[in-house]
Structure 1
Amino acid sequence: MPSPSAQGLLSIGEVASRTGLAVSAIRYYDDEGLVAARRTPGGKRIFPRSDIRRLSFILIAQQLGFSLDEIRSQLRQLPLERTPTKRDWEKISRGFRAHLDARIGMLERLRDRLDGCIGCGCLSLETCKLYNAGDRAAQTGSGPRLVIQKSIGETPA
């Protein structure tokens, strides 16, 4: 039987070295089904080179605030047995774009309104840009509703 490296496979240590991830993190992502290690006859995990890109994508997506469930959902669109193509990545990027646009909008609203208040409902600032008369924002849910709404023009019911 050819060695793992002769088959284009990498040991977990090699993957850790290439990605900067701890071996324990790679095991965790494997256990969570985000990558799919093969096993040697001795039970050691070995990975296709394409998992370097999958793991890098996971790291980036986590930095952008995506949950593992969201990441897993996107990764299901990628092939497991080959390096993803540009077309594969474009498909995933379309899936993330709407989420990123919504987050960017929320961050812009927060930035633009932060000097006054974040819509907490305290009603203590007369100059609050997010004045919440009668605590009407409470009708739409808990938390800073006036910042997390989808668009600036929306008002609570």
Structure 2
Amino acid sequence: MRKTDLIAIGEMARRTGLSVSAIRFYEDKKLVEPVRTGGNQRRFLRSDIRRVSFIRIAQQLGLTLGEIEAEFAKLPHGRTPTARDWQSISKGIRGVLDAKIAELQRTRDALDGCIGCGCLSLKTCAIYNDNDHLAAKGPGPRQLILD
């Protein structure tokens, strides 16, 4: 490995748009693994820029750190992931993303119906929870959540 293959944490922060503390947080979660210099300074592989960027995108898409960690476990350690490695990750999260998209569409459609229904009456509202009978099914908007 050449010295130019490694970057300092400040450079990683600058390149990814994250704070140094966020990168350290990802390190604590084992999502990135820096190497240490003789002076115990963190150095990251240049390819870790892609890992950290993927984390940011995946979180914006609604993936949890646990889901991201599970996918990263499939990536090689100690070498730059290849296009094939990243394609594997893409396939791995496709089902998660499809489920989230379906949930968003169901929620959008239910809200369109509710907001646009014009009933203006709790007696005829399709999602009214009379006497809180849905509380027994769990927390949250039970009529919009599929179990």
Place the TM-score, normalised by the shorter chain, in its bin: 0.7 to 0.9
Partner Cα separation in structure 2 for residue 125 and residue 68 of structure 1: 40
Return the offset for 1:87.
1.6
Please name the residue that 2:127 is paired with: 130
The answer to whether structure 1 residue 101 and structure 2 residue 101 are counterparts is: no
Partner Cα separation in structure 1 for residue 3 and residue 39 of structure 2: 12
CA contact (8 A) 1:4 1:46 kept: no
How many equivalent pairs are there? 141
Q: Mark the CA change 1:140 to 1:95 in structure 2 (over 3 Å): closer, same or farther.
A: farther
Please name the residue that 1:4 is paired with: 3
Partner Cα separation in structure 2 for residue 39 and residue 98 of structure 1: 37
Return the offset for 1:14.
1.6
Post-superposition CA distance 1:70-126 (Å, at most 9, x none): 111111111122222222112112221111111111111111111427xxxxxx723
Please name the residue that 1:74 is paired with: 71
Post-superposition CA distance 1:108-149 (Å, at most 9, x none): 1111111427xxxxxx72333335678664453332122111
Higher helix share: 2
Structure 2: where are the runs of 5+ without partners?
Answer: 116-120
Partner Cα separation in structure 1 for residue 36 and residue 66 of structure 2: 25
Return the offset for 1:34.
0.5
Structure 1: where are the runs of 5+ without partners?
Answer: 118-123, 151-157
The answer to whether structure 1 residue 39 and structure 2 residue 39 are counterparts is: no
User: Normalised by the size of structure 2, how large is the TM-score?
Assistant: 0.82
Indicate the percent of aligned positions where both proteins have the same amino acid. 55
Name the Cα RMSD after superposition.
Answer: 2.3
Moved more, 48-57 or 103-112: 103-112
